Amino acid sequence: MPRKITLDDKFALFSDHWAPRLAARYNGNEVRLAKVEGEFHWHTHADTDELFLVIEGDLDMEFRDRTEQMAAGDLIVVPRGVEHRPCARAGEVKLLIMDAERTPNTGDEETAFRPVEV
């Protein structure tokens, strides 16, 4: 049976950065939670779009031609094949990220963090 997910409770279960946790699955997609701080690396996802929702904090989503500044409650969809780099330069940011199942968070299977369920 379906059960509600309380994001604060799930975020309290982990502290490491850039290591997404799996909060739910639906229709071949994964709802991931991540705490981030500092700069990630430039990457793309060739086969799928990626959705980011800022839950807490301020995030810069960098693209090669511009930067989108995001705050809590802001959402952005990065289309497949678009190079991007999330950056949390003003302290820790809590994110909800939606990806197709088994999408590597780094854009590369070899370097990806495999999300574990929380």
Per residue in 64-83, pLDDT tens?
999 999 999 999 999 999 99
- For tokens 């969809």, what's the residue? 77
Give me the phi and psi of 52, to 5 degrees please: -120, 130
pLDDT of res. 116: 77
The reported pLDDT for the residue numbered 66 is 98
pLDDT of the residue at 104 = 66
Q: Where do the domains of the chain lie, and which CATH numbers do they carry? A: 7-117 (2.60.120.10)
Core vs surface per residue 81-98: b (16+ CB within 10 A) or e: eeebebbbeeeebbbbbb
Q: Is 7 helix (H, G, I), strand (E, B) or coil?
A: helix
Q: How confident is the model at residue 117 (pLDDT cuts 50, 70, 90)?
A: confident
**Nearest to 37, CA basis, from 54, 61, 21, 17:** 17
